[in-house]
Structure 1
Amino acid sequence: MLFLGLSIVLSVLLLLNFRVFPRYDVNTFQAIVFNYPVCFLTGLLLLPAGQSFSIDFSQTWTWLAFGLGVGFILTFLLSGASTQRMGITATSLANNLSLVIPVCFSLFIFKAGGKTFDALNYLGLVMAVIAVGLSTYKKEAPVAKSDLPTTSTSRRLGANVLLPVAVFLFYGATNTMINYMNIHYIPSADRTIQVTLTMVLGAIVAGLLMLVIRLIQGKETFQSRNLIGAVTLGVPNFLSFYTLLLALSAFGSNGAFVYPLYNIGVIVLAALVAALFFREQLSTANKIGLALAILAIGLISWQELAALV
């Protein structure tokens, strides 16, 4: 339970970084790009004794892991934008409820769900989707006719609302791809750290390429404080994933049990942090969405939770 708790705290710390970056004038894009080299160095330091990192481009999983790295940085950029524009609670809900997507793929496409779903499990999946919609709902304050937003402003507001939805879809897609790799290309646990570092390497290449292009175009100006943001982001980024792997190992790789508890923990802790430190106001619809999210994840894994009683 210690590793699981640490993973939950570290995951919320990632969202906390995104939330405070604007306050200290840290460029979120550059912090995300430079956070991946920090992740890579952190991973190298945590390599077990006698192991070294190597990469084999003749292996199919290497290219898949590289592709996942690109997906990771795109998802991270979306998560950063969503946290700053829509809040910690909405983004954490969209992130954690994305487990619906890999669960559905495991059940209906990969045929490797690990258990037989019943009516309550399916009800949980439906409720999870509804929870995403409710938790991201923002009611616009009434304005005078003279203050009505322009067409461009309305479009910008609509785009902001879509950010948590994009986070939901991208996180779901990357997690689904990880499941696919586990089924077909990563049969042994000792390859996990190698695959993780390869994914991070893919994110490094994609991120630096995007940064160079933006620097050439004159859209970015490098500032040293962004490196500090990269460290505060990169260390918990890697450790959150690493401690989650340790938690899975401690519970006999029972992902159907660990992931729901992890997701519930992140959702609840993120909501508490947002309310206490950032005074994020939740509407009635948002609160219903939060309650539905917890209930949905509980229904998806009620068999595993009942086994603990």
Structure 2
Amino acid sequence: MIDLALSVLSSTLIFVAFKLFDVYKVQTLYAIITNYVVACLVGLFLYEGNVDVAQLTSTSWYWGPIALGVLFITIFNLMAKSTQVSGVSVTSVATKMSLVIPVVVGVAVYKEELSLLQIIGIVLALLAVYLSSQKEKGITINRKDLLLPLLVFLGSGIIDTSIKYFEEEHLTDQEIPIFSSMVFGCAALTGLIFIGIKSFKTPLRVNFRNILGGIALGVPNYFSIFFLIRALRSDMLNSAAVFTLNNVAIVMLSTILGILLFKERLRPKNWGGVALAILSIVLVALF
């Protein structure tokens, strides 16, 4: 449970960092790529073994970080585009609702069992995510704009499911730091290739503010994945419970910090979402 709590805290600090990007005019794309480089270096620092490229490429999971790294950058850009086209609320709901995918996979593929109260808790968690995310007057979306949120939903769910797959089938406790590091390293490489191509049209400018923003984002970003994988290895909770608690607790804590740090104002349905989040956490964790 400590690992899960630390993963939630780390993920929530990512939210705080993104909010501060607006305040200090940090360019998100460049900070994101810097953050992946920083996260990769943190993982290498924590890895106790020798970093042997030949040995790493001979592991059964070496292709995972490559695929996940590409997915990380792709989904980030889709989230940014979806936010611009469909709105913050729609994108937020699509991202957090994706917890359905790893929950279903956990039950169907890994034969995890859920009690009736846990199932009720997961349903309440989805409702809590929806209500908490409605910071605008209402969620409206044109049918033609459904593709972007749908891709964000599927992509986010695939990332979580893939992390569960590698944790279950391939990784040892000692390999978690280097696996996490390689995921971020591959994401950084993909991002650098992306901005390298983009720089042909728009010259690349190094900005110290973007670098600082990337450092502030990179450290909690690394630990959000590191502690999530460790939480999935725990025998206390199955993966369905872990993903549900992780997503709902992030929404709840982010909402609370938004009020305390950034003076965000919540509507009654947002408070209802927070209350449902607390109830769903109790049902999923204790039953």
Could you tell me the TM-score, scaled by structure 1's length? 0.74
Match among 204, 208, 219 for residue 188 of structure 2: 204
Give 1:45 deviation, angstroms.
1.0
Give 1:2 deviation, angstroms.
5.2
Instruction: Show the counterpart of 1:136.
Output: 133
Give 1:118 deviation, angstroms.
3.5
Gaps of 5+ in 2: none
The superposition leaves residues 68-111 of structure 1 with CA deviations (integer Å, 9 ceiling, x where unpaired) of 11112333455677899637xx84x7655533220101212x2x
Asked if residue 86 in structure 1 is aligned to residue 92 in structure 2, the reply is no
Whole-angstrom distance in 2 between the partners of 1:31 and 1:127: 35
Report if the CA contact (8 A) 1:65-1:199 is conserved: yes
Give 1:274 deviation, angstroms.
0.6
Whole-angstrom distance in 2 between the partners of 1:123 and 1:198: 37
- Give the match's secondary structure for 1:280: coil
Give 1:176 deviation, angstroms.
0.8
Report if the CA contact (8 A) 2:39-2:221 is conserved: yes
Gaps of 5+ in 1: 141-153
Instruction: Show the counterpart of 2:163.
Output: 178
Instruction: Show the counterpart of 1:31.
Output: 31
Instruction: Show the counterpart of 2:65.
Output: 65
| Higher alpha-carbon deviation: 268-277 or 94-103 | 94-103
CA separation of 1:270 and 1:132: change in aligned 2, threshold 3 A: closer
Q: Which amino acid in the other structure matches residue 13 of structure 1?
A: L
Give 1:290 deviation, angstroms.
3.2
Instruction: Show the counterpart of 1:150.
Output: none
Q: What is the Cα-based RMSD across aligned positions, in Å?
A: 3.6
> How many pairs were matched up?
280
Report if the CA contact (8 A) 1:9-1:266 is conserved: yes
Asked if residue 215 in structure 1 is aligned to residue 232 in structure 2, the reply is no
Within a 5 Å distance, the mapping from 1:1-309 to structure 2 comes to 3-48=3-48, 50-52=49-51, 54=53, 56-57=56-57, 61-77=61-77, 86=88, 91=92, 95-108=95-108, 110=109, 112-114=110-112, 116-137=113-134, 138-139=136-137, 167-184=152-169, 186=170, 188-218=172-202, 221-246=205-230, 251-252=234-235, 254-256=237-239, 258-299=242-283, 301=284, 304-306=285-287
Whole-angstrom distance in 1 between the partners of 2:59 and 2:3: 31
Which has the larger Rg?
1
Give 1:188 deviation, angstroms.
3.0
The superposition leaves residues 179-222 of structure 1 with CA deviations (integer Å, 9 ceiling, x where unpaired) of 223344x1533332232222122201211111112211217544
Instruction: Show the counterpart of 1:146.
Output: none
Percent of pairs with identical residues: 34
Whole-angstrom distance in 2 between the partners of 1:57 and 1:117: 37
- Give the match's secondary structure for 2:265: coil
CA separation of 1:8 and 1:124: change in aligned 2, threshold 3 A: closer
Report if the CA contact (8 A) 2:40-2:184 is conserved: yes
Give 1:129 deviation, angstroms.
3.5
